[in-house]
Amino acid sequence: MAAEARELTVLVDTQRWRETVLDSVCLAVPAGRVTALLGESGCGKSMVAAALTGSLPSVARSTGEVRVHGTVGLVPQAGATAFAAERTVGAQLDERQQLFRGRSVEDACKAAIYPVETLDLLPHQHSGGQIQRAALAAALLSEPDLLVVDEPSASLDRGTAYEVWASLRTYAGTGAGVLAITHDGALLTETGVADAMVFLRDGRTIAAGSPAEIHALADPYVRGFFP
Ligand SMILES: Nc1ncnc2c1ncn2[C@@H]1O[C@H](COP(=O)(O)OP(=O)(O)OP(=O)(O)O)[C@@H](O)[C@H]1O
C-alpha cells in the first residue's frame, strides 16, 4: 500500500469561516495501481491530496489516520505553484534533477508529455496545459513512491489528455501508487487507466471500488460522472 487514510477529518477555521471539509474519509492508494478520486467541485478532493502529501493549509486541523509508505510527490491543480515565479522552468527542472539524481530532465519531460521547446520560458509564460505537464515532469524527477496528481488533464485537448493518463499508468507500472483527481469520468472510462475509483461528496467518501463495481452502482451522483 502506498498510502491510506482512515477516518480522516479536516476542519478549516479561518476565524471568519469554520467548516468540516473532510468528514471521516477512508481511502486506499495501492502500490502499482492508479486510483482515481472523483467528486463535484468543492467536495474536498484537493484537501485529500494535501492531507496525503503533508501540505494542508495552516488554517486546517486534521484528525484520523494518514499513512504514507515512502516518498511523496504532488502535482498541484495550479501547476505554476510547483515553481518559483522568476526562474525558467528548465532551470528549475535541472535543479531538481541535480537534487534527486534519478531520471534525466529529458526523460521526465517525455514521460509528462511536456514540450521541451518551452523549457526556457518562465512559469507564467506557459499555457495552463503546458505548466501542468511541467509540474508533472518536476514531480516525476523525484520518482516518488506515492504520486498525487490534481486534475492532470483539465486544460488539455483530448489527445494529449490520453497521453498523460497513459503515462500515469506507466508510472504506476514501476511500482508507485498513483492517486489522480479528476471530474472527467468519461475520459477515465475511455482510457481505462483507473484500477479503482473513489467518490467524494460533501467531504465524505460515498463510493469506492473497481471501475466495474462503480459502473454497476445506481447512485445518481456517481452516475452523473459518466456519459
Ligand atoms: N487553503 C484553503 N484555506 C481554507 N479553505 C480551503 C482552502 N483550500 C480549500 N478550502 C476549502 O475546502 C473545501 C474543499 O476544497 P477543495 O479544494 O478540496 O475542493 P475540490 O473538490 O478539490 O474542488 P475543485 O474540484 O473545485 O478543485 C472548500 O470548501 C474550500 O473552500
What are the CA-CA distances from residue 106 to residues 34, 42, 60, 140, 169 (Å)?
24, 35, 37, 11, 19
Query: Each residue's pLDDT tens digit in the chain (227 positions)?
Result: 899 999 999 999 999 999 999 999 999 999 999 999 999 999 999 999 999 999 999 999 999 999 999 999 999 999 999 999 999 999 999 999 999 988 999 999 999 999 999 999 999 999 999 999 999 999 999 999 999 999 999 889 999 999 999 999 999 999 999 999 999 999 999 999 999 999 999 999 999 999 999 999 999 999 999 98
Cell of 62: 486534521
- Structural domain count, the chain: 1
pLDDT recorded at residue 102: 86
Q: Does ipTM exceed 0.95?
A: yes
Q: In a mutational test of the pocket of ligand 1, which residue from 22, 23, 47 has the highest number of ligand atoms less than 8 Å from its CB?
A: 47
Write out pLDDT tens, residues 25-52.
999 999 999 999 999 999 999 999 999 9
Could you tell me which residues are beta bridge partners of residue 146? 72, 177
Give distance in angstroms: CA of 7 to centre of ligand 1.
18
Describe the crossing of helices 128-141 and 89-100 by its angle, rounded to 10 degrees: 10
Please report how the helices 128-141 and 158-172 are oriented relative to each other, as an axis angle in degrees rounded to 10. Answer: 10
C-alpha torsion sign, points 152, 157, 162, 166: negative
CATH no. for residue 38?
3.40.50.300
Write down the mean pLDDT value for the chain: 96
Q: Domain containing 207: what range? A: 3-223
Residues within 6 Å of ligand 1 by CB: 12, 14, 21, 39, 41-47, 57, 59, 77
